Amino acid sequence: MPQSRQTRRHFLTTSGATVVGTVGLATTTASAQTDAQQGILADGVGEGGDLRAFILGQIDGLSLGPPEATAATLADRLRNEFNANSSHWINYGNWLIDEYGVTALGDTLIAVDVKVDRWVTDTETVATTIDAGYDTETDTFTSLEWRLGAPDDPDYQAALIDDAAKNGSDELAEFRREFIDTSGEGNHELPSRQYVSRMAGRYSRFVTVGDDGQSVFELLLGEIRN
């Protein structure tokens, strides 16, 4: 289950090379706390360990400033990409449950702030909601929708900030193309070691102070473990 208070992004460096990033959905009203790093579809899938891919991810993640696009534009791109392919994400989530016994978040509302920090005191924020429908009797997802606006009473809160917001729609599309079988035959794949390591490297320079954030990968699939 998700952690009961806002988690922080920790980077544990060993031998000056390998980095482990842990982050989950940020806030829940539950009182119990566990060590699980929970995503909407799963509680962490795939492991990295590819140093070259990690370094390439670090290079890929270099940024000279905030995204040029507005937070509203980035939120629209995320919604459009996700909603146009929500049936495929449902199929993938159910496949993970059937094949690997992952723990899904279940029937829930997640408030996701899309944020762009322009200056120290100037932050653009667009409130969005991911609505996940889940049948507890069959342990299957029945619906997934990403929409504008904040839910009145969210079960969880999360944030996509700066590069995570800017890269989000492309990362959704890339993951779908590489690992989700959209033909309907169900020949999905777990994310590769190279992909997980590249994602870990891309966001490894962030040490969260204040608002907690995650990548789209973490938001949907849970902990990145490199």
How many helices (H) and strands (E) the chain has is answered by 6, 7
Can you read off the two tokens belonging to residue 164? 């995570």
pLDDT at residue number 214: 82
Q: Is the pLDDT of residue 6 over 80?
A: no
Task: Kindly report the number of other CB atoms within 10 A of residue 135's CB atom.
Answer: 12
pLDDT (mean) for 149-170: 93
Contact 128, 78 (CB under 8 A): yes
Query: Which ranges constitute the DSSP H helices of 61-182?
Result: 71-84, 86-100, 163-179
pLDDT at residue number 206: 60
pLDDT at residue number 120: 65
CA distances from 133 to 25, 43, 82, 102, 183 (A): 17, 17, 15, 17, 23
In tens, the pLDDT along 113-153 reads 999 987 766 889 999 999 999 999 999 999 999 999 999 99
pLDDT at residue number 117: 86
pLDDT at residue number 134: 97
In tens, the pLDDT along 48-88 reads 889 999 999 989 888 767 788 999 999 999 999 999 999 99
In tens, the pLDDT along 183-224 reads 989 999 999 999 999 999 998 876 443 446 789 999 999 988
pLDDT (mean) for 88-96: 97
pTM above 0.95, yes or no: no
Give residue 15's pLDDT band: very low, low, confident or very high (50, 70, 90).
Answer: very low
The domain segmentation of the chain, as residue ranges, is 10-221
pLDDT at residue number 100: 93
What's the helix, strand, coil split of the chain in %, to 5? Answer: 30, 25, 45
pLDDT (mean) for 5-11: 25
The gap between the terminal CA atoms of the chain, to the nearest Å, is 21
pLDDT at residue number 21: 29
